[in-house]
Copies of this chain bind each other. A is one copy, B any other.
Amino acid sequence: MKIGEFANQLGVSTDTLRYYEKHNLLTPSSRTEAGYRDYGEATLKQMKFILRAKNVGFSLAEIKELLQIKFKKHQHSCHEVKDLTIQKRDLVAERIAELTRFHQSLSVLADKCCGGQEPADNCSILTTLEDIDGLTQ
């Protein structure tokens, strides 16, 4: 399968596939005489693995680690894999916590403001940002 058809089947761009190849995430099975990339069953499975891993929030760098483990499963332990997963989960949790603080502060600000058509001279949002320090505590 040439790159265009392969990309279509997976719903990604050919650029993405070349990018993944460059970054050692997915190398096509072989090349045609003309030098065209030729993708097969194995690459299809691997690409699906990559897309699923992306879907649960792993970065490409993390996926690369997972693939290295996957390639040599018996040289790695369950522990390693679970560790990666939990590390990622905790990182996601931290980011959620930060964004939740943002959301809370923004809600407080929004609730303070009338949102009317009058000039913003006394807008509570602006004056709060000008004056109050403890907005995030």
Contact = CB atoms under 8 A, between A and B. Distances in A.
Given A89-B107, A102-B92, A126 B79 contact: no
A45 to B, nearest CB: 7
A126 B55 CA distance: 14
A23 interface: no
Contacts of A93: 103
Contact of A120 (B78, B109, B129, B133): B78
A49 B129 contact: yes
A15 interface: no
Given A77-B118, A96-B100, 15 more contacts: A48-B130, A49-B130, A55-B135, A56-B109, A57-B102, A69-B120, A73-B119, A73-B123, A74-B119, A74-B121, A81-B125, A86-B110, A88-B106, A89-B103, A89-B110
Interface of A: 45, 48-49, 52-53, 55-57, 66, 69-70, 73-83, 85-86, 88-89, 92-93, 95-96, 99-100, 102-103, 105-107, 109-110, 113-121, 123, 125-126, 129-130, 132-133, 135-136
A93 B103 CA distance: 7
How many of these chains are in the complex?
2
